[in-house]
Chain A
Amino acid sequence: MAAGDKPSVTEQALQDARDSLDEGFFPLEFFHDENLHDLEMERIFGQAWVFIGHESEIPEPGDYARRYIGDDAFIFVRDESGEVNLLFDSCRHRGAQVCRAEQGNTSHFRCPYHGWTYKNDGDAAGIPQKSKAFKNLDREEYGLAHVPRLETYEGLVFASLAEEGPSFEEWLGDFKWYFDVHMKLPEGGMEVIGEPHRWVIDANWKTIADNFNGDSYHTAWAHGSVLDLELGGEETVGHAGTGDSLDRHIHCDGHTTSMRGFEDEDVFLTYPEGVVEDLFTKEDLSDAQWKLARQALSFTGAIFPNFGFLHFGDTTDDPEKDVAPFFTIRKWRPLGPDKMELWSWGLAPKNAPEEFKERMYKMYTSNFGPTGNFEQDDVPIWKGITESANGQFASSQNLQLNYQMGLEWMSEMELDDEWLGPGFAYSENLEEGGMRLFHEQWYEMLAGNDRTDATGTPMNVQEDQ
Chain B
Amino acid sequence: MLAEREEQLEALLVEREVEQFLYYEAELLDNRELHEWFDHVADDINYRMPRRLMRENTASVFSERGYYFNEDYGSLKARVERFDSEYAWAERPPTRTRRYVTNVRVTRDDEALAEDELFVEANLLVYLSRGDSEKHTFFSARREDVLRRRGDTFEIADREIRLDQTVLSTDNISIFL
A residues at B contact (CB < 8 Å): 100-104, 106, 193-195, 197-202, 221-229, 231, 317-321, 341, 346, 358, 361-362, 365-366, 369-371, 373, 375-377, 379-381, 383
State the Cβ distance, B66 to closest chain A Cβ, in Å. Answer: 2
Complex interface residues of chain B between 49 and 63 (CB less than 8 A to chain A)? 49, 51, 53-56, 63
Number of interface residues of B (CB under 8 A): 41
B90 near A376 with CB under 8 A, answer yes
- How many angstroms between the C-alpha atoms of A329 and B34 in the bound complex? 32
A373 near B66 with CB under 8 A, answer no
State the Cβ distance, A204 to closest chain B Cβ, in Å. Answer: 14
In the complex, B149 has a CB within 8 A of chain A: no
In the complex, B169 has a CB within 8 A of chain A: yes
Partner of A370, one of B72, B83, B173: B173
- How many angstroms between the C-alpha atoms of A103 and B63 in the bound complex? 11
Look across to chain A and name the residue whose beta carbon is closest to the beta carbon of B54: A102
In the complex, B102 has a CB within 8 A of chain A: no
Complex interface residues of chain B between 81 and 105 (CB less than 8 A to chain A)? 81-83, 85-90
A369 near B167 with CB under 8 A, answer no
A375 near B172 with CB under 8 A, answer yes
Contact residues in B for A194 (Cβ distance below 8 Å) = 51, 63-67
A195 near B51 with CB under 8 A, answer yes
Contact residues in B for A317 (Cβ distance below 8 Å) = 71, 74-75, 78
A228 near B87 with CB under 8 A, answer yes
Contact residues in B for A369 (Cβ distance below 8 Å) = 68
- How many angstroms between the C-alpha atoms of A24 and B170 in the bound complex? 33
**Chain B 107-127 per-residue mask, 1 if CB under 8 angstroms from chain A, else 0:** 000000000000000000000
Partner of B85, one of A103, A225, A371, A380: A225
A371 near B68 with CB under 8 A, answer yes
A102 near B166 with CB under 8 A, answer yes
Look across to chain A and name the residue whose beta carbon is closest to the beta carbon of B89: A377
Partner of B53, one of A195, A200, A223: A195
Partner of B78, one of A102, A221, A224, A319: A319
- How many angstroms between the C-alpha atoms of A294 and B56 in the bound complex? 45
- How many angstroms between the C-alpha atoms of A106 and B79 in the bound complex? 40
Complex interface residues of chain B between 139 and 177 (CB less than 8 A to chain A)? 166-174
Contact residues in B for A341 (Cβ distance below 8 Å) = 167
Which of B66, B74, B169 has most chain A Cβ within 10 Å? B66
Contact residues in B for A227 (Cβ distance below 8 Å) = 87
- How many angstroms between the C-alpha atoms of A106 and B131 in the bound complex? 44
In the complex, B69 has a CB within 8 A of chain A: yes
Contact residues in B for A361 (Cβ distance below 8 Å) = 65-66
A101 near B78 with CB under 8 A, answer no
- How many angstroms between the C-alpha atoms of A396 and B81 in the bound complex? 43
A103 near B172 with CB under 8 A, answer no
Contact residues in A for B169 (Cβ distance below 8 Å) = 199-200
Report if A197-B68 is in contact (Cβ < 8 Å); known contacts: A376-B90, A380-B90, A381-B89. yes
State the Cβ distance, B55 to closest chain A Cβ, in Å. Answer: 5
B87 near A195 with CB under 8 A, answer no
Report if A370-B168 is in contact (Cβ < 8 Å); known contacts: A226-B82, A229-B85, A380-B89. yes
Report if A103-B68 is in contact (Cβ < 8 Å); known contacts: A200-B168, A366-B75. no
Contact residues in B for A221 (Cβ distance below 8 Å) = 87
A sample of 18 inter-chain contacts (CB < 8 A) reads: A101-B55, A104-B56, A194-B67, A195-B66, A201-B170, A224-B85, A228-B87, A229-B78, A317-B78, A319-B78, A321-B74, A321-B75, A370-B170, A370-B172, A371-B173, A373-B78, A376-B88, A376-B173
A198 near B171 with CB under 8 A, answer no
Contact residues in A for B56 (Cβ distance below 8 Å) = 100-101, 104, 106
- How many angstroms between the C-alpha atoms of A383 and B78 in the bound complex? 26
Contact residues in A for B74 (Cβ distance below 8 Å) = 317-318, 320-321
- How many angstroms between the C-alpha atoms of A198 and B66 in the bound complex? 12
B63 near A195 with CB under 8 A, answer yes
Contact residues in B for A375 (Cβ distance below 8 Å) = 172
B172 near A379 with CB under 8 A, answer yes
Contact residues in B for A103 (Cβ distance below 8 Å) = 53-55
A225 near B82 with CB under 8 A, answer yes
Look across to chain B and name the residue whose beta carbon is closest to the beta carbon of A357: B65
Partner of A223, one of B64, B77, B87: B87
